[in-house]
Amino acid sequence: MAFPAHHPFRSPAARDRFLALCEERARRWPVPFDEHFVETSFGKTFARTSGPEGAPPLVLLPGATASSLMWAPNVRALCEAFRVFAIDPIYEWGKSVFTKLPRAPAEFCAWLVELLDGLGLRAPVHLAGMSYGGWVAAELALRRPERLRSVILLAPGNVVLPLSWSVIARLFTMLIPHPRFVRSYMNWMFADAVQQGGEGQRFVDEFAHDAFVGRQCHPLRAGAKLRVFDDAELASISVPLLFVVGANEKIYPAAEAVARLRRVAPQIHTEIVDHAGHDLTFAQPKRVNDMILAFARRF
């Protein structure tokens, strides 16, 4: 299939607007970084790499509508122990350019394995995924455990429990082409960060602004259907895996998710972060960073 020169954006002007915003946000990335583009059979994938060369690799997958820049509150601490590869997923808004979109779980895993190979990461890596990225990370843990040293799932989409109906209903408001609806959704979803005021509110405001610009600059895409793993699948995961969820999580009840894992997959480690919901990586960055570091350093 032939794509226009401005693909995957709506127009050349949309491309320039969105990439300029990415560059503006990247200027606040708190540590030095290198940029890499890796060719895969799904298109060209962007990776932002920070931390000491030779340190164990930690790959970061962001949530829906986010990019590698989502990890700005976390990357400095994580670079103390790891070579960090923050990814703009091929299926999200960022600097990556898809030629085909993964749909099935096996395709997401194929893309991620090709990306790891292209980055020279053929030995097992540590992998952390937030929300949508957590679902992708969980699928790789299930299907390709030999590529992983450890996995950290941060409020993964589905995997353990289905999305709540309140989230699904509110998600539709994100399609209304006015920034007020995006801000309203983000303020609700990231309520703990908003309640902090100051830096927390600023981060949420920027997240909402960037999501609105991303929606304006990109055509609508049909997303993949995230799935809930059955009991046998969860019990079969052999990779050391940490499941982290905020106590005030909106996408499903945190206590119910942890209870299910403890019942059907006791080999999976679980943690609940107080004073956080789906914003746990930036509402409680030190707590989350400490959990990631303490867990991954064991393997």
What is the CATH classification number for the domain harbouring 101? 3.40.50.1820
Average pLDDT of span 227-241: 98
So what's the pLDDT on residue 1? 67
Task: Please check whether residue 192 lies inside any domain of the structure.
Answer: no
Q: How many domains does the chain have?
A: 1
Is the CB of residue 193 less than 8 Å from the CB of residue 204?
Answer: yes
Q: Residues with Cβ < 8 Å from 197, sequence gap 6 or more?
A: none
So what's the pLDDT on residue 170? 86
Task: Please check whether residue 185 lies inside any domain of the structure.
Answer: no
Mean pLDDT over each residue of the chain, to the nearest integer: 96
Cα–Cα distance measured from residue 181 to residue 280, given in angstroms and rounded to the nearest whole number:
22
Residue 148 structural domain: 21-161+225-296
Cα–Cα distance measured from residue 231 to residue 221, given in angstroms and rounded to the nearest whole number:
31
Average pLDDT of span 115-121: 98
Task: Please check whether residue 42 lies inside any domain of the structure.
Answer: yes
Where are any strands of DSSP class E within 41-139?
Answer: 43-50, 57-61, 83-88, 97-98, 125-130
For the cut 80, the answer to whether the pLDDT of residue 222 exceeds it is no
Residue 46: φ, ψ to 5°:
-95, 140
Q: Is the pTM of this model over 0.75?
A: yes
Q: Give SS3 for 268.
A: coil
Is the CB of residue 218 less than 8 Å from the CB of residue 10?
Answer: yes
Task: Please check whether residue 102 lies inside any domain of the structure.
Answer: yes
Task: Please check whether residue 212 lies inside any domain of the structure.
Answer: no
Q: What percent of the chain has pLDDT over 70?
A: 100
| Lowest-confidence segment of 34-48, 76-90, 217-231 by average pLDDT | 217-231
Task: Please check whether residue 180 lies inside any domain of the structure.
Answer: no
For the cut 90, the answer to whether the pLDDT of residue 172 exceeds it is no
Greater pLDDT, 96 or 166? 96
So what's the pLDDT on residue 224? 82
Task: Please check whether residue 184 lies inside any domain of the structure.
Answer: no
Cα–Cα distance measured from residue 137 to residue 132, given in angstroms and rounded to the nearest whole number:
9
Task: Please check whether residue 188 lies inside any domain of the structure.
Answer: no
pLDDT digits (tens, 9 = 90+) for 266-292: 999 999 999 999 999 999 999 999 999
